[in-house]
Structure formats: C-alpha cells, structure tokens
Chain A
Amino acid sequence: MSQAVNTRPPQELVSWPEPGYTRVPLNVFSDAGLYAWEQDLIFRGPTWSYLGLEIEIPATGDYVTTQVGDTPVIVVRKPDGSINALVNKCVHKGSILCYESKGNRSRAHNFTCPYHNWIYDFDGNLTSVAFEKGIQGKGGMPPDFDKSRHRLIRLRVETIRGLIFGTFSERTPPLREYLGPVMVQHMERTLYGTPKILGRYSQLLPNTNWKLYVENSRDNYHPSLLHAFFSTFKLNRLSAEGGTRQDEKSWHHITFTKRHTDKGDQAYDSGMIRAMKQDYGLRDPSLIDQWMEYPDQITNSIQSIFPGFVLQQILNSLGTRQVITRGVNDCELVWTLLGFEEDTEEQTCVRVKQSNLVGPAGFVSMEDGAIGGFVQKGIRGDLDNVAVIEMGGHDVGSQPTRATETSVRGFWKVYRELMDV
C-alpha cells in the first residue's frame, strides 16, 4: 500500500461500536491515518472515480488534468479515439508532467517532463531520456538502464453517456457491473442528449472531510429541512412522491421526487419546520418555472456514485459534481453544469436561470457547502463519540420513501467493507 506507509492498520485507528451501520465513530472525519488508508483502499482500490466529460477532450491530443483522491491524473484522447488516464508523475523524480488544467499535444503525441525532458507516449511508455547516451562521450545512463521497465501508472478507463471514469485496481469489475442496472438506467435516462458545458467552477469546502460531502449527497432526509428553498417553494418536500433507489450492494444511491405530486402534510404546515417559510416569496418566480423534461415526471433527482461523484437533476439544471480530497480536513467540489446540444434557446435560458439554484452561490446548494463545516466544528471536542443514523430503520436498501437514511447507512456499509473496519 503506497500512502499508508508506517501507519497503524485501520482496525487500530477506528473502532466501530457495534455491527451494522447505525453508529459512525466521529474520528473517521479527523484521523490522518485513516485518510491515508482511504487513499489506498478506496481511491486506489476497487472503485471507479469520475475523471471528466468526453466533450472536454474532443480532439486527438486533448487532455485535462484532474485528481483521483490525492493522485494527479492526466486524461488524454488518443489518435484512435480512445481515452487514456495516466498518473501525472514522472518516473524519474516525481514531477508532474502536465502543469496546466487542460491543453493539447497534437503535434507530437507525447508528454514531456518539464524537469529533465523525459518523454512518454500516450500509453505512458517512456520513449526518451535526455542525454541517455551521455554527451561528448561522457556521462549518460548506465548500460543496463532499460526504458521499457519504467512507465507511467495507467488507470483503466470506461465511459458511460459521455462521462469518463477511471480505476486503479485490477479487482474492479467493469463499470456497468460496478454501477448496476438501476444506476446505469438512471444515468442513461438523465443524460439523454449530447452534453454541452454551460459552466464550470469549483467550490472549496474547508473543514469538510470528503466523506461529509458524500454522505450529504446520499442523505434523503435533509433536503426539505436544510434547504428552505426546497420547502418554501414546494420543490422537494417529503410530502411529494419520491423514493430512494440503490444498487444491489448499496454502494450507490438515487433520491428522486416528483414536484407536482406534492399533496402537503401537517408536518410542513405545523410551523415547526424552520425551512418552511410561510411568508417568503420571490420577486421573479420564473426562477423555478421548468418544463417537464423527463417522461417519468421526476423533477428532482440526485445520483451519488461511490466514492465521490454526483449526477444532478434539479428541475432543469443538470450537472456533474466531482469530489476531490484535499487532506483529512478539507475537500473540493468541481461542478460542471450541462445542457444538451439539442436544447432550444428557450430551454437553455431556463437552464441558465436555474443555475442560480446550484453551486456555491446556489439558493439550494450553498447550504451543503456550509453544513460539513458545521459538523466538523460541532464534533471537535467529541471525536470519541458517534453519529446516530437510524432514520428509516437500521438497514440499507432501496425504499419507497425519502424519510430515511438508508443510503447514508449504505455509504458506511461500503466504507466498512473496503477499509475492513
């Protein structure tokens, strides 16, 4: 294991108080040793991590740089149209090869390290070492230096509906098997057109361990309680039809609702729910006008794929969210807002207006940016304590309701399996 060197095994770093997933020891969010193990066992383990969109690298030689956990990765389009993902690290001394967030190597299909000019092809083979034979008869690499024994670490890459995923581990099943039919069907349903990028930005989440954001993305219970916009405008309340879907192993999650089926509930009218504001109105209510984009009448769906990818559909605002780890205490969320090439100008305008709902300035999403910090602040003095996750019962699995934390328990189920804790 490469990251957790000289670290005690995970079983010694965290102690689950009981079997099952209803109690979560709070030090999982703060222990640096566990973070190193997560890099090995989760991000370099049998999981698929989102790398970006095919449309970001349309032409031969186009590349973007991103991260899988802490590992910097180059994602490049090869001449045959396939995509490679390579660790952005020279085998020589470890310098990154590509120091820009995106670019193109169309003239010569290779990556040249800025430090000593070692050159790699798009498959990661080391093809050239500067002054390998020395110069003017002096110096150079020893005669037994064999370039073919040194290569960039390469991820396996698969795509689905224009989304690019990569995995480090040979043990990872193929992507569609990893996702399972429920998740695959939802991705294909949501991304029904030719994606185009409307906007892209990053949200730094300080004081938010990556798992706090991912947990939040799988938490059915909070949307109408934390996000006053959802409740007040009846966009996403538990009184509407909806549910929680998971794959068979509970690694992944979809929450969905149909806004127009909201019949109301005494709970929301009681005045006890902070997020249900009786006296608040928008000056420009066209913000929440939408067209019924999907035949299934679902107006809001959040799909969370372990370990750190979210596919969002909030009214007509579509997009991807990628979780990037930044140490044990912080993480970053990369947002890419999407439309389709097939959209009419009117539809694009609706998506543009609804972009106000999401992202760091999002009427809905901004609170998800703050809430992880609220948790980390609250638990600081009680890291030996536990979180209590019993909403909806004690089990995992799909449920025809959203008054449940079944997918939060699902997250901890995967975590305990992969980390063996």
Chain B
Amino acid sequence: MSSALDQIFVHAKRWLLSWVAVAPSWVIQIASSLINIVAVLAVFLTLFALISVMERKILARMQNRYGPNRVGPFGLFQPVADGIKMLIKEDIVPARADKVVHFLAPVILAAVAILTLGVIPYGRNMTPFTIDGGILFFFAVGSTTELAVFMAGWASNNKFSMLGAMRAIAQMFSYELPLIIAVLPVVMVVGSLMPDRIVAAQGEYTLGIVPRWFVFTPWGFTAFLLFFISGLVESNRTPFDVPEGESEIVAGHMTEYSGFKYATFFMAEYLGMFAVSGLAVTMFLGGWHAPVRVLEVVPSYVWFFLKLSALLFVYIWLRATLPRIRVDQMMNVAWKFILPMAFTCVIAAAVWHYAGRGLRGWLWSLFVIVVVYSALSILLDTRRKFAPRVYRFAE
C-alpha cells in the first residue's frame, strides 16, 4: 500500500505513456519529457503562488499584524488577484531602452530557474531529468543567471538599473565559489555528481535510529550552513538584497520593469530559491528519505516537500528579522571567512573518510573544523580596530 502510494506519480506517468505506446520511440521520448516538464511547472508554479501568500502571512504574524485576509478564505486567493493585477497592468518600456534585450532578460532568468529545478530528485524514481553530472548541470545552468541580470540592467538604460546589476553580479560571483565548494565534500564522499546517488548514499540509519544524512557529520553541518548562506545570497533574499535595495537604488536591475515582466522577475527569484533549497535538501538533508525508518510508510515526495518547506520557512523567517547587510561587509565575509571555511569542510570530509567514517572520523573532523574556525575568528577579530570609516573615492 505504502509503496503504491509512494510510486503513484510514476505509475500515473507510465499510464499516460501507455496511450502512445504504439508510436515510434522518439514520440514516446518527447511525450515523456513533456510530462516531466508539465509536472515540474505545475508543482512549482503552484508552490510559488502558495509561498507568496504564506510569506506575507508569516511576515505579518512576525510583525504583529494580519496580512492578506480579504480574498478568499484566509486570503488564500491573494496570488490569483495579484496575478490578474499584474497581467492587466500597463507594460512600460522606456523609450531609450534596448527593446529586445529588455524583453529577453526576465524570460532567460525564469527559464534558467526552471531548468535548474529539473535535476533534483523529488522522490523515489522521481527525478525529472536524470543526468550523470546533475550537480554540475545545476551550477552550469545557474551561472547563466548573472548574464540575464546584466542584460536587465544594461538594457533598461537607467543608472539605478545598471548599479543594481553591477551589485548583483559582484555578489553572485563572490558567493558562487563558496556555494560550489560547500557542495564539494558531499560529491567527494559519495564519489558521484549524480543527485540520485547522493540521495541513495544517505539512505541508511546508524543503529537504526539516526539517519546518515550528511548534515549530522561535522563537515556536513558546516558545509550546509555555508551552502545555505551562499544560497541566500544567490537568490538575492533579504539580509543580502543589496542588488534590489529599495531604499538606495529604487529596485536595482528591476527598476524599469513593470506589469508581467516584473512578475516574471519575482517568479524567477522564488523559483531560484526553490532550486537552491531543493539542492540543499538533496545534498545534506537526505533528499526524500524519512528521518526515522518507521516513517518510511509516508511517501518519499512528502518528505522532500516537508524539508523544502522547512528551509523556505527559514528564508522567510530571516527576511522578517534581519536588516540588510552592507556591501563591503558582505564581500569581506565571503572571501575571508566563508571561502576558507568551505575549503576546511573539504579537508574535514577527507579526514572523516580516512578515519573510517565512524565515531573516530566524526571526532577528528570536528577537531579540524573547530581549530580552523577558532584560528579564523582570532585572525579576523576587528574589535580593537574600530576607527572612522575612510572613504577612498568619495571625498
């Protein structure tokens, strides 16, 4: 029963494909891909609508107010109203803007975000796009985001847009490196770039209770935190929303966008957030595996989306509580702290592997991480060095 429920979507797809079973193989191939694409789009656009209203609700709760509660029960139809509003708004393109590039930028951004969602395993046998180097695909396609943001900023022909695009590219480049290096220990320990294998490697239980998720090893935990912070920066979310910075540069690279193009930017940001969180779940939180063996009766995709929502809740929580970080501080942290710590995770994972992957390895890798962390904290201590800020170029 549980396995039937677990595989219900796989069976549904097989049943749909049986309709074209007599067709030549390339028709079946295309039909199979189309089903996967439609499924990913349907699930994540629904999740986007849901999350946009949940985010406003949670933010409101944390700020002691009601939030949207007029449209539908508990304001649940708010995204529908928002969507209609965005669709019927006038689409303004500046006269001096580069029309084609201005139009293409949000399209590419959304397309990239959707592509990266394709390689994540959502449940047992439920990876939309199985590829040998899935993790590499994720980052390769994701690195195109920078170009799209640049296109948006440049084509708008507006100084705020350009400044925002510059900021976005600077921060995305700086944090892409730690993002990738934080993933490296997992790839190294599993010995594969395939998301399905990485999930499979975390499927066992120590003593039958504690799941062998990588987040429960010292290097995995550190790498997970680093990955989460870098992912937060990559998706331009609040403590790191410097590129948008409403109070400084209007809306950054989105200044000259209105109506549905703006909504597309908004959607791309959320889809990117889902993709990074999905990858974090896959790499560190055991993917679609249940936390306890007894609970494996619950279908695998339920576990995946539960973990995903937990991460998304943390995203929203951070947005409600943290102020925006200054640009130079953000860059300093990236290069002086997060990057060395990410490299330390790689070394600690190697120590863990060669010390036998047991308790001994656990303690040794903890030792490595604590030593480097303390050394970095002493080296980067700025308490005694507070002085008036020196402006080099703006005097």
- Same assembly: no
Residues of B in contact with A (beta carbons under 8 Å apart) = none
Q: Which A positions have Cβ atoms within 8 angstroms of B?
A: none
